[in-house]
Structure 1
Amino acid sequence: MVYSISPAGEWLPAALGGGGYITGLLQHPADGRVLYARCDVAGVFRSRDGGESWETLNRGLTQAYHHQVQSFAISRHHPEVMFRCCGEVRSRTFYGAVHKSADGGNSWYEVCSGMGFYGNGPTRMYGEVIAVDPFHPRIVAAGGYTGGLWISRDEGESWEQSSLPEERFGCVAFHPDQPGMLYAGTISDEELNMDYADPGEYGILGLLQDRPRGKAGKLYLSCDSGQSWDLLVEGPSFAELSFDSRDPQRLLAACIWGGIKSSSDGGRTWQSAGAGLLKGEQRYGTIVQDSHIPQRWYTAPDLRPQMKDIPPVPLYISEDGAEHWKLLHIHKDADLSGFPAYMDSFNGGSRASAAGWAISKIIVDRFTPGRLYLCNWYGVAYSGDGGLTWQAGEFRGLETTCMEAAAADKQQPGKFCVTMADHSPKVTEDGGLSFRNLPGLPGYSGSSAAVISAADPGLYLYGLIGHTRNACIAAYREGGGQARAVLTLGSGLFVQALREDGNQPGTYYAYVDGSISAGAGIYRSRDGGASWERTAFRPPAHVETLPHQKRWIEAELLSVVVYQVKNACGSNQLMDMNPHKAGQLLAGEATEGIWQSSNSGDNWDFIGEGLPFQRGGPASVLSTVAYSPSRPGTIYAGFISEGLWRSNDYGQSWHKLFPAAEGRLFNVSAFSAGRGEYGEDLLILASEPMVRTSTESELAWSRDGGATWDRWEHASLGAVRWKGIALDCEGRQVLAVTCGNGAFRGTISR
């Protein structure tokens, strides 16, 4: 029997697009319908229809941090030439690269690695730090989060570091009307406030694994395209610069907590330009002039959900050259169309509040008067009437979807449930062609593990993640209205996995991460999920948290954001039920072993002897455990770094199954096993790229239980962070989910 993934080995995008916080927008210099968006976790996107729909542009990228884009630029001389700056920090080391595209973003190649960037860091939502000289197409300038400012004089092919100090650059801009004039603004240590993270005893720099880089922001000027520099001013932090087309000496700046400032002498002195803006401290990162009506300017403070007394869409307009400001409009839900329904549930029922949350950029369409664009936490929206009403096209292809896991229905072909860091679960019944939302609960903003009941059709159990790092197990029945919490967990706990015992109707198990003394462990429900009790599972006495090295594994190794524990680490893979025997289940711990119970969790035996826990370093950790659906006694165990292992005797002995090459690393970040032909398992496993393991994105599958393997070519997707893979009940339809890159669907043909 011959298997293949159709058509021609290609997997197709599902209806859940990739995305994250959309931090920047560019418009094509010659084609107004073409827009580009940058994202903190998912790379660069392109729209060919004025923002109605989006496609990813990540071909040629090899490392996960290549998708964490802090800045990008397009050459107005040669619009097919583009640049992107990407990077992250791990273990107090900043990584970064500049990539170039010579074909409009269709493919990219690395041109500079001298600067570190922080695409998902505290300056991600500010101005562009790479720019092409408007008078000289071969001159490009880029300022890093680390590493200083660099100049290229051959259209980005080679780079040299300038004489500027290695400060934290917030914006780099050539003057549009003055040849050779290049500005570079920096951001102070004090203005790295992140209202979504608690710095605790370490302070904000410790949390970011950074060192001091400047007590004050600065603005530098070069009059010779970066060969020499003058310090113009020291004090405010410069997040974005905008040049007044009516006066070459007049500049406007968004100065973060310093507000909006103006200069009438080329940037040497600055005055407040905030008359009419919101009172009190507000963070500003964007300021833009209307090219059609030069006396008109736009700005917006950075609204977050916990902030009070701020308009729902805090878009401000000035009609007198940024001397005085007023709120453009008090937006209501009726002023918005094409915004996804899920935005209501996380913002007090107001879609307008969600549309204005964390606005990072405003741009004015250079071709069409009255047409504006903005991007924020959710995606890109556009207005055709000067900002009075807004449309979003449902963010097709570009969503806030850092996915955690995929679970298949055991009864219905093509039906899957997907969980994700910033949303309640979504369900597809057509293999990923369309999705619908499962209801969330007040106080919970994300989802982790999920199970679709086979014994009780229409019942879903899923883990929800709270705003205060609390969690619960929610139950929802189709047609039943609201979800309800059936197990409420305290702060720091997390539902890692959910399973149903297919041989004991009404019996479910939950794997809960966190502090063991606070309740982490394996839970059991014998009444259809209505009530839960903790089983006898207890790891060794020295293990105080699940996982044992919780902070390092979740914040350093697996998480998409280094300081946000459990942000898209992947879930639903460290527990499994034996389909061949009632009451038999597995539980894995990342660094300490695997345990098995044969009596519904009342007793547990260690079966992890011989597995490569932390072999050769701390990155070799367990990521998935699974029973064979075809062969009783066969168990699989997947590891970061060390690949896939198998036992044929219920865990008494183990051998490595993939990869066979000695010393080759493979991160099993997602795994699924289905029934194949002739009693062999159909296996699919994926490797997400990681800085700590120097690995690239890879996906492999075996039609014969691991005897031979094929690989899926997916270079067009870039460095995909695979988090979950599920085969449907027939073993024919596959759904794969990622952190930021969207979901993908495939069909197994035989």
Structure 2
Amino acid sequence: MEVRDVEGNSFKPEQTWSPAALGGGGYITGLIQHPSKSGVLYARCDVAGVFASIDGGFRWEARNAGLTKAYHHQVQSFAISPHHPEVLFRCSGEVRSRKFHGSVHKSDDDGHTWREVCTGMGFYGNGPTRMYGEIIAVDPHHPGIVAAGGYTGGLWISRDEGESWKQSSLPEERFGCVAFHPGIPGLLYAGTISDEDLNMDYVETDGGGVLGLLQDPPRGKAGRLYASTDLGESWVLLHEGPSFAELACDIRDPQHLRAACIWNGILHSQNGGQTWQPDMTGLLQDGHRYGTVVQDIHHPQLWYTAPDARPHMQTVPPIPLYVSGLDSGVTEPWKLLRQHKDENLSGFPAYMDHFGSGSRAEATGWAISKILVDRFIEERLYLTNWYGVAVSTDRGRTWRAAQFQGLETTCMEAVTSAWEQPGKFCVTMADHPPKVTEDGGKSFWNLPGLPGYSGSTAAVIPRTSRQSYLYGLVGQGRTACIALSRDNGETASAVLTLSPGLFVQALQEDGVNADTFYAYMDGAIASGAGIYRSTDSGMTWEQTAFRPPAYMTEIPHMKNWIEADLLSVVVYQVKNACGANQLLAANPLQEGRVLVGEWTEGIWESSDSGDNWVSIGAGLPFKRRGLGSVLNAVAYSPSYPDTIYAGFITEGLWRSTNGGQSWSKLYPAEVDGLFNVSALTLGIGDHGEDLIIVACEPMVMNGTDSQVLCSRDGGESWEAWNQTELGAVRWKGIALDRAGKQVLGVSCGNGAYRILLKDKI
């Protein structure tokens, strides 16, 4: 195939990525089953796209080929055609800078490749309605009819199996479910979600008063249920009041419907949706939202639901899965399926206790988004939640997970390689302690976390000890520490506990003195943000003389823009995949020479281990093109002591060959060329020049594509590494091992990938 770089030059890729053992994923928000092939399932994810399983939900692989924008991986809904099961659809999108984006993609080959077919709607794949019902559906009676309702943009209809679309007459509300009636040809339902019923975790407040959903203006104080009897040509309003997150039609009685209505719980209707009554007897009620309800097709009297339980809900059963209809009645009371214990579970990974509950059963029951009844195998159920897909073969009494192979909750922050240990890397990530591989990514093992900390940010593997690891941990409520393990990950302890609000942005070892380490803490300057130093292998730390300009009160200086809009995995998640471990560098050729960068304000260097600092960022494109040009990586050349690299979002890669006295743009060569340096690593090239590997994550704000480029001659020429099968990967870190042969790249939700470098011919 022909690949083109950002300047339009064509070349043949020399390298191709292979998946590492550390898979992608996030909150698994939906699940559908192939209509004719037993064991084939598809899962959708809030940040990592669509995954497929061919063994009944135990092993998964990503299916995102053909996607070009980061938000294409943020999937709010998907559907499979019951007439042509090789045809799938996905609705994806996000909001940035208060503008919604969205696409409908179609696949004609079981999800292996995708192409965009509609851009009329905005979707919010990682938004407050992500865990609810499907908003795209294929008519079970008419193969060509497909309907989709946007988070913005209204409801659209296709009459040629998704090839072309037309907006319907419905108002542009926030759709929560779209469903064709399985027993009444031509009947289409569309339910909406009110402002008041949104996930309150996403709402910002000021002095106790709700301001509204972050980046989402008010669009309706009431939920509504609409119906069309002519496949979307005309509509009637059936009901107004509750929000409709999922709608289920009773296969025994076409007039009987059940609906999951978020804070209004489960409702049912006996007249096709015109009037609704509560159906909550036996269920948890006050303070619980319901987003899923499903009928058992093998035993139609049975229905299943679960509240969206969260870690702080102490009185909720470990796995709050409820069943109704055990006594064959239409509205029999709901009953807890089982008071699950850890012994009822198998194959669930250890990290599921990262909130400190002490019980994997409780973690299995957190944030259940979908319950699915297997269409082929009686008593086989599936549930999806924060972590992945769990499988039960005994109607929910016991559950298995097979370690969520290929589908993990992994929004990775950074990756670093070990000194003189080929194939050894350490990866940090949101919601998990670091993971280590010693075989180039074929397998990983966990470094220990600490109580109160749920994620990791930066890490360094000391040169003098193959048994030691220094890494930053972050906890709930903006707490952080530096942890040290000296026994190859058997145990760890906090060697520096930070003031609330500080964050371990980067860790580096001095390039010559193996006992000296540096740490970059961001947060409030008054609380101690700045550069720290340890001269005893990380055991004790002191703050260096680095002080940012007086007008800065916190790092990052433009905190909300940098962390909550530009670099984060989603707009409201501050400190999640926000550029860790790339703005601090130590010169590998000169002791005590250290480089630190701040996103919008400059670069500073110390030649005496942090006792004195000078600004060397003059001439770099800080905040050029408005706010679009932001520093994201700094690095020293491994061969030339005065050569420094600076990588920018939008403005690409820059280089100084005289210690920062002057700078020039290295890539793209065009002055106006756009490229996001999301990740940067250096090595020694074929003839002693710098080997440069740079990764670009796609961003809505500048229209850049996902790609990884390599130069073996110090930036004179570039080659692209083929990632067509991976889709629009949000690269966050990349590292080259010390042998200069193995590369590990990590992403925000899309998994880790590895390459074995070949010698250039």
Using the size of structure 2 for normalisation, the TM-score is: 0.96
Segment of structure 1 superposing worse, 248-257 or 342-351: 342-351
Aligned partner letter, 2:105: H
| SS across alignment from 2:287 | coil
Matched residue, 1:740: 749
User: Which amino acid in structure 1 is aligned with residue 27 of structure 2?
Assistant: Y
Q: Report 1:11-160 matches (<5 A).
A: 11-160=17-166
Q: Once the 2 structures are TM-superposed, how far is the Cα of residue 659 of structure 1 from its aligned partner? A: 1.1
Following the alignment from structure 1 to structure 2, what is the Cα–Cα distance between the partners of residues 336 and 161?
46
**Is 1:265–2:274 an aligned residue pair?**
no
Is the counterpart of residue 690 in structure 1 residue 694 in structure 2?
A: no
Per the TM alignment, residue 347 of structure 1 is displaced from its structure 2 partner at its CA by 3.8
CA deviation map 1:666-688 (0-9, x unaligned): 00000000122332111100000
CA distance in 1, matches of 2:46, 2:510: 39
What are the equivalent positions in structure 2 for 1:366-405 lying under 5 Å apart?
A: 366-405=375-414
The amino acid that maps onto 2:690 is: D
- The equivalent of 1:637 in structure 2 is 646
Tell me how far apart the structure 2 counterparts of residues 204 and 457 of structure 1 sit (CA, whole Å).
Answer: 51
Deviation at 1:195, TM superposition (A): 3.1
Give 1:624's aligned amino acid. Answer: A
Three-state SS of the structure 2 residue aligned to 1:679 is coil
The answer for the alignment partner of 1:665 in structure 2 is: 674
Q: Distance in 2 between matches of 1:506 and 1:207?
A: 48
Aligned to 1:340: 349
Superposed counterparts of 1:290-369, under 5 Å: 290-318=296-324, 319=326, 320-369=329-378
Give 1:207 shift.
4.3
Contact 1:192 1:204 in 2 (8 A): no
Preserved CA contact (<8 Å) 1:425 1:437: yes
In structure 2, relative to structure 1, the CA distance for the partners of 1:646 and 1:322 (3 Å cut) is: farther
Q: Kindly indicate whether the alpha-carbon contact (under 8 Å) linking 1:455 and 1:502 is maintained by their aligned counterparts in 2.
A: no
- What amino acid does structure 1 have at the position aligned with 2:648? F
SS in 2 for 1:195: helix
Distance 2:94 2:498 in 1: 32
CA distances 1:148-191 after superposition (whole Å, capped 9, x unpaired): 11111111111111111111100000000001100011111001
Pairing partner for 1:242 from 237, 245, 248: 248
Cα contact 1:382–1:390 (8 A) shared by 2: yes
Determine the C-alpha separation between the residues in 2 that align with 1:722 and 1:287: 36
SS at match of 1:554: helix
- Residues 448 and 489 in structure 2, CA contact (< 8 A), matched pair in contact too: no
Conserved 8 A contact 2:150-2:174: yes
After superposition, the Cα gap between the structure-2 partners of 1:125 and 1:205, relative to the gap in structure 1 and judged at 3 Å, is farther
The CA distance in 1 between the partners of 2:404 and 2:396, in whole Å, is 18
Q: For residue 279 of structure 2, what is the amino acid of its counterpart?
A: A
2:474 maps to a residue whose letter is I
Matches within 5 A, 1:208-287: 208-287=214-293
Q: Does structure 2 retain, via aligned residues, the 8 Å contact 1:585–1:598?
A: yes
Contact preservation (8 Å) 2:47, 2:75: yes
Offset, 1:43: 0.5
Contact 2:128 2:202 survives alignment (8 Å): no
Q: Do the aligned partners of 2:511 and 2:592 also contact (CA within 8 Å) in 1?
A: no
Q: Any conservation in 2 of the 1:699–1:711 contact (CA below 8 Å)? A: yes
- Residues 1:504 and 2:510 aligned together: no
1:6 and 1:749 in contact (8 A); partners too: no
Distance, in Å, in 2 between the alignment partners of 1:465 and 1:730 is 31
Match of 2:4 in 1: none
Deviates most, 27-36 or 322-331:
322-331
Q: 1:554-609, CA deviations, whole angstroms, 9 ceiling, x for partnerless residues?
A: 11111111011111122100000011111110000111111000011010011111
In the alignment, does 2:592 pair up with 1:586?
no
Deviates further, 718-727 or 473-482: 473-482
Task: Provide the rounded CA distance (Å) in 2 between the counterparts of 1:258 and 1:173.
Answer: 20
Given that residues 82 and 104 in structure 1 are in contact (C-alpha distance below 8 angstroms), is that contact kept between their aligned partners in structure 2? yes
Distance of 1:205 and 1:188 partners within structure 2: 15
Contact 1:297 1:321 in 2 (8 A): no
Separation in structure 2 between the aligned mates of residue 362 and residue 322 of structure 1, nearest angstrom:
19
- Aligned letter for 2:236? D
Amino acid at match of 1:285: G
Which amino acid is 1:158 matched to? S
Answer yes or no: is the 8 Å Cα contact 2:446–2:489 preserved in 1.
Answer: no
Structure 1 203/437 Cα, relative in aligned 2: closer, same or farther at 3 Å? farther
Which residue number in structure 1 is paired with residue 660 of structure 2? 651
Measured in 1, the distance between the counterparts of 2:207 and 2:97 equals 18
SS at match of 1:73: strand
Q: 1:9: Cα distance to partner? A: 1.6
Structure 1 pair 404–396 and aligned structure 2 pair: CA distance change class (3 A): same
1:463 aligns with 2:469: no
The residue type paired with residue 138 of structure 1 is G
* Alpha-carbon distance between aligned partners in 1 of 2:286 and 2:208, rounded to the nearest angstrom: 27
1:609 match: 618
Counterpart of 2:165, as a letter, is: W
8 A contact 2:529–2:554 mirrored in 1: yes
Q: CA deviation at 1:279?
A: 4.1
Stretches (4+) displaced over 6 A: none
AA aligned opposite 1:38: R
CA contact (8 A) 1:207 1:563 kept: no
In the aligned structure 2, how far is the partner of 1:385 from the partner of 1:111?
40
Residue of structure 2 equivalent to 1:713? 722
Count residues in correspondence: 746
User: Residue 205 of structure 1: CA displacement?
Assistant: 5.8
Contact kept in structure 1, 2:146 and 2:162, CA below 8 Å = yes
Unaligned 5+ runs, structure 1:
none
**Structure 1 residues 31, 347: CA separation in 2 closer, same or farther (over 3 Å shift)?**
farther
Of 442, 447, 455, the match for 1:438: 447
| Aligned-partner residue type, residue 555 of structure 2 | L
- C-alpha distance in 2, partners of 1:330/1:448? 36
Q: Deviations over 1:618-668 (max 9, x none)?
A: 110100000011112111110001111111111111111111134220000
Aligned-pair distance for 1:202? 9.3
Alignment of 1:480-499 (within 5 A): 481-499=490-508
2:461 aligns with: 452
Q: 2:754 and 2:488 mapped to 1: Cα distance?
A: 27
